[in-house]
Structure 1
């Protein structure tokens, strides 16, 4: 059964902050200049180096402010309330967390997560089955990493992404093929670590 970020087992894990700074990813890896923890930046570079010639990682988002995270939660929760009139608070949080994490455990707020895809030698995005940030409703569930209903090329590209990122020590959030993290509470739960090493951090400390 899929563990969602709203699961109490995620919240139960402590954070032992290691103090690594946020750093800006190089432009060839993230033209948007995403900020991530220094250790995660090293892992992403290692994963990128393991890809076949002519294929690169493309990071579109890293660290988010608490305010940005809350705005995404509010927008998506409003969509869900419209789709499910009368939905209870607990079920709303559960459904919302398939697409955006509660603020208190959010990997992006800790600088521990990236949203990424694969590009070819011309910087064109490869087929991964859906657009990045496609909601479960928009994609009819094809945003889930292991979803049925995607083509052979998309499946092969997701498998390649998994191989290099798992090899670099990252974990995937299974409802979003593009979301990968290291060092946060979700990573700790999935990987068997007894604590997270990255907690919430402000972008003001970025290098």
Structure 2
């Protein structure tokens, strides 16, 4: 059974922030993540087969940006599920965007990424990055039935990132994290090591 980010068991995980700073990813312009995550992404890149690399689409996200995504997607869901109450809407929304209180991106602990060839062309993963469950017919779930090429590429991605210590959010094949509450829950860590953080003022555009 998939544990969603809206589940109270995720919120119950303690956070003892270890103070790792946000750092820019040297291979992904404009993307900031916690230093410990950046190191693990370097490890993952080294583990990938020759001829493929990671393309990180997004890392740290501000609280205001997170809220905007939540509000936009919840409005879409409200139209699709007019009889759903607030609890059910929050559950449905969390398949695609985390509640602010536990959001890995806001902690600088998550990346949205895919694989690219040596020439920079994205490989086929079964859906586009950030395809909602509705848009993709559920194919955005990591374990969804997809064609052989997409399954092979998802496995390559998962093998490298998993070996580097990251965990996947199962409703989004592209979302991987380290150090946040969801990571702590899945790995059995005693607590999360990253809580909400902001990009330094001098680095904001």
1:162 partner SS: helix
C-alpha RMSD of matched pairs (Å): 1.1
Match of 1:81 among 59, 74, 78: 78
- Is 1:69–1:103's contact at 8 Å kept on the other side of the alignment? yes
What secondary structure, in the 3-state scheme, does the structure 2 residue paired with 1:203 have?
Answer: coil
Choose which of 95, 113, 124 in structure 2 pairs with 1:127.
124
Structure 2 residue 153 is the aligned partner of structure 1 residue 157: yes
TM-score (norm 1): 0.96
Contact 1:170 1:181 in 2 (8 A): yes
Show the 5 A alignment for 1:34-73. 34-73=31-70
| Whole-angstrom distance in 2 between the partners of 1:131 and 1:8 | 29
In the alignment, is the contact (CA less than 8 A) between 1:145 and 1:175 conserved in 2?
yes
Q: How far apart, CA to CA, are the structure 2 residues paired with 1:177 and 1:205?
A: 32
The Cα shift of 1:173 comes to 0.0
Q: CA deviation at 1:151?
A: 1.2
| Counterpart in the other structure of 2:182 | 186
Tell me by how many angstroms 1:52 deviates.
Answer: 1.1
**Closer/same/farther in 2, CA of residues 206 and 145 from structure 1, 3 Å limit:** farther
Gaps of 5+ in 1: none
